[in-house]
Structure 1
Amino acid sequence: MDADTLGGVQQVTHTLAQGLAERGHEVHVIGLHRAAAPFRYVDRPLYHHHVISRAPDRLARRPADRRLRKLFGAIGPGYAVMTSPSAVARVAGLLPARFRQVGQYHGSYDHARGCWHLASIRKHYPRLDQAVFLSEDDAWLFSEHALLPNTWALPNPLAAWPAQPASLDAPRVLGVGRLEGVKRFDRLISAFARSGAPPPWQLHLIGDGGELERLRAHAAGEGVGDRVVFRGLVPAARMPAEYLNASILGLTSEHEGLPIVLLESAAHGVPSVAFDVSGGVRSAGPVLVPPGDVEAFGAALAGLIDSAADRRRLGAAARARAETFHLDHVLDRWESMFNHVDR
């Protein structure tokens, strides 16, 4: 609904917009309202960027609709990619007939099933020209259980490809994401404690959010308060160095679609451990652990901490697998989907 918040959907949107624009497409990124704290993803965008409203005010819906219709009237014909169920419900009825309508979903089927998303997808997505999901597994599940006749699988892309992989010698486990409840960094801290990782091994958490003080207290309660380092926000330009200085990535989110952090770590040859919460997570090739099983997660971390050979073997496999998510390959698949819609 806004295009500039710090988040995975927004990062993917701007990465795809820039990539498609570099291929000669006219691209417009439209935020329905302004982000509270706008984040700049592309330094020199080749695409057009619009913000419809200053805030998500329901009372301003009619003037916002007028602005949207006027903007749509000046663009096209083309493809309207709506990046969430909320965006589809809000925008699809306002689009002129000359637009092909594509509904993208950045979550998993299991997540959609557990909230209002599935009902909205069932209601609105069958009428679209294409319904796009992050993995073949999730596309199949939506096709079968949401009765969608128009599913397509398109993964998230990597914005850049690192020239060199990590050495995997640094005694560091990395966690990246918002310090909010859904990311469940408390589980990652507990798993790190249960792994028995000896000093000088540390867990570095990159990100900020409302859970910071609770997570500090949790680390102290788990007996690893002196070895969990809260790094705060790190600029995107410095993230490659963070991956190069890590040996393992941990992902303990309650739900995920296809997290960019898994793809970025894999591209740097850093092996990862993740809860098996979606087809997208599985497609990135981490060491998979049953959802919520902190003991098993700790054991998986321990295996990688204890064996540099295993880290290198799994890291090399992850980097090879990450080639699939190279931006050029993903853009090829988007253009194939556009051609399919036109047929």
Structure 2
Amino acid sequence: MNVVFTCLDADTLGGIQQVTHTLAQGLAGRGHEVHVIGLHRSAAPFHYVDEPRYRRHLISRSPVRPQGRPARRRLKELLGPMRPGYAVLTSPSVVTRLTGLLPDALRPIGHYHGSYEHARGCWHLDSIRKHYPGLDQAVFLSDDDARLFAEHALLPNAWALPNPLAAWPDRTSPLTTPRVLGVGRLEGVKRFDRLISAFARSGAPRPWQLHLIGDGGELDRLRAHAAREGIVDRVVFRGRVPAALMPEEYLDASILAVTSEHEGLPVVLLEAAAHGVPAVAFDVSGGVRSAGPVLVPPGDVDAFGAELARLTGSARERRRVGAAARAGAAAFRLDPVLDRWESLFQHIER
């Protein structure tokens, strides 16, 4: 069958893009015709797949802005001749931009990568209420999220599909390196300031360090925050790490920490769990809960620090939590998730 993934931009460093390329490569590997469309140029392109088996398309080389007539014309020219299949629209912005442009042969699926908790706090929920009931299917990241959207957005077509792991590691972390790991863009929504504060309050003894992987506009502010917390020499800002090198980062970590303001289902949680690394996370979504981290009430920095203290203080506890996380992560392996996508396509056809 033909599957067309469309992103606002397809090559930014982010969860939507990572999941899209993983699914595209997996489905193409099963013999499907797959396309990935970026509506706009990425400001800082990130490389996800070395040898893509799917076709990639860029509609506009301008930064993100409303679709103009030339872009709409190019979209129609690209989509019009495509053989029947499915158009997976990866955000509310994409759904609104492609309204009226999809040929009848492509059946639309809205793939929302956020949580219900996040959607209701911004314009997303109103957009989903308005546009998603008319799609063939509305896909969310967890059973909890699908249920909440079905109830509060009155969606008759809600479906739950988790994010996949691109690969399953043969090795797991020994959990002996005194390192807490944080991964993500250095931007406000990730709230690495809270993680720095929690690490400081954990009282983790030397030589424990906090390593932050990612780049972004908050770097200087976060360095200053680490200095105010008195741990500037124990917070290591690593910058961007290529996707191919991330397995080594998990193998060198003993704890993963996720302090985001909101999340859907962070792939970093799944990847760490697959490597047997225990995680601590704010309880901000059904997706986060489904990944099996140690949960902390949202925004409670002291409680987060206490959990870091418990795990940094006990190798036995790290091993116990990490083993349970790896066992749970098996449900997110690529093949079972692809099976569920193919079952969804069959459900729509029926």
TM-score range for the pair, normalised by the shorter chain length: over 0.9
Percent identical pairs in the alignment equals: 77
Residue 96 (structure 2) pairs with residue 96 (structure 1): no
Matching residue of 1:153: 160
Taking a change above 3 Å as real, the CA distance of residues 58 and 196 of structure 1, as seen in their structure-2 partners, is: closer
Residue 346 (structure 2) pairs with residue 342 (structure 1): no
Matching residue of 1:142: 149
**Aligned residue pairs: how many?**
343
Tell me whether 270-279 or 33-42 shows the greater mean CA deviation. 33-42
Q: Which runs of 5+ in 2 are unaligned?
A: 1-7
Structure 1 stretches of 4+ with a deviation exceeding 4 A read 56-60
**Given the alignment, which residue of 272, 275, 279 partners 2:282?**
275
- The residue correspondences of 1:1-343 to structure 2 (distance < 5 A) are 1-56=8-63, 61-343=68-350
- What value does the CA root-mean-square deviation take over the aligned residues? 1.0
Q: Which runs of 5+ in 1 are unaligned?
A: none
CA positional deviation for 1:39 = 1.5
CA deviation profile, 1:134-168 (whole Å, cap 9, x unmatched): 00000000000000000000111101111011000
Query: 3-state SS of the aligned residue for 2:325?
Result: helix
Query: 3-state SS of the aligned residue for 1:229?
Result: strand
Q: What is the TM-score when the length of structure 1 is the normalising length?
A: 0.99
CA deviation profile, 1:104-128 (whole Å, cap 9, x unmatched): 1000001000000000000000000
Query: 3-state SS of the aligned residue for 1:121?
Result: helix
Q: Distance in 2 between matches of 1:69 and 1:315?
A: 48
CA positional deviation for 1:57 = 6.8
Q: Distance in 2 between matches of 1:2 and 1:39?
A: 11
Q: Distance in 2 between matches of 1:20 and 1:116?
A: 32
Query: 3-state SS of the aligned residue for 1:95?
Result: coil
Q: Distance in 1 between matches of 2:186 and 2:63?
A: 24
**Residues 146 and 160, structure 2, Cα contact 8 Å, conserved in 1:** yes
Q: What is the TM-score when the length of structure 2 is the normalising length?
A: 0.97
AA aligned opposite 1:155: P
Taking a change above 3 Å as real, the CA distance of residues 57 and 307 of structure 1, as seen in their structure-2 partners, is: closer
Query: 3-state SS of the aligned residue for 2:96?
Result: helix
CA positional deviation for 1:56 = 4.3
